[in-house]
Amino acid sequence: MFCGAETCGHGAFKNVKIIALTDIHSKFAGIDAIADDLREADVVLLPGDLTMFGRRDAALEVLDAVRRYNEVVLAVMGNCDYPEVEELLVEEGISLHRSHTLVNGAAFVGLGGSLACPLPTLNEWTEEQTAEHLGAAVEDLAEGTPMILVSHQPPKDTVVDVAGNGMHVGSTSVREFIEEHEPLVCFSGHIHEAQGTDAIGNTQLINPGPFMEGKYAWVEIDGGVCKVEARRVPNPA
């Protein structure tokens, strides 16, 4: 499904293909079916919940499945990943939480975890903590650097944060960060039912829906134009 092509600004970031698999929850049987997309991508993003309350070994299984086809992986932990998952991501040099990584001249900036959930989960922050995490992620980043935001928690009052009861459950701190820093794209997840695309100013938003249901994102950035797609695994189990 093609979801749109929008002007993003920041024309210096060109010819980059990004695939994002969020909310895998250890159900990664569809990886082999999207091998061609994984190989074609310049960067593979995992925006949180690699596991379903899984430990290090469960997360490593997910990483190994993805890295069979592409070794350029960047990730944040979700609210359903044990803290040792974040430790693994740091050890592997692929964690974006509270940090950024430069790829082809653009900064991939990350926020793991989520706001408090109706039932307690493992990595939850207040809005104040969320703002602090995001501030740390862009510390020492050169002004004007093109930016991609990878946030498990979606921004407030958008298509990508609508829960099943119709309420907007996104973060005001994430939204304010987007309004201030104007990343090209914000990849999010967490709210499984909030699959879709939206925009805040010039920032394109995508929550592709959970990969455990065969859903993922494909984004191409060429100059000032972002092509944002929500895709599905062929014949998902």
Q: Where are the domains of the chain?
A: 2-232
Structure tokens at 103: 């790829």
Q: CB pairs under 8 A, 24+ apart, for 91-96?
A: 92/63, 94/63, 96/137, 96/150
Structure tokens at 163: 């829960």
Give me the pLDDT at residue 12, please: 57
Q: Are strands 185-187 and 203-207 parallel, antiparallel or unpaired?
A: parallel
Extract the runs of DSSP E, i.e. beta strands, from 55-167.
Answer: 73-76, 100-103, 106-111, 114-115, 124-125, 147-151
DSSP annotation of 24 reads -
Position of tokens 């119709």?
Answer: 166
Rounded to the nearest angstrom, the gap between the alpha carbon of residue 44 and the centroid of all alpha carbons in its chain is 10
Report CA Rg, the chain. Answer: 16
Give me the pLDDT at residue 226, please: 79
Position of tokens 């190994």?
Answer: 64
Question: What are the 10-residue block averages of pLDDT along the chain, 237 residues in total?
Answer: 40 80 97 97 98 97 98 98 97 98 93 96 98 97 94 98 97 98 97 97 96 97 83 80
Residue type, 34: I
Q: Which residues contact 60 (CB under 8 A, 6 or more apart)?
A: 88
Reported pTM: 0.94
Give me the pLDDT at residue 225, please: 66
3-class secondary-structure state, position 9: coil
Q: Which class does domain 2-232 fall in?
A: alpha beta
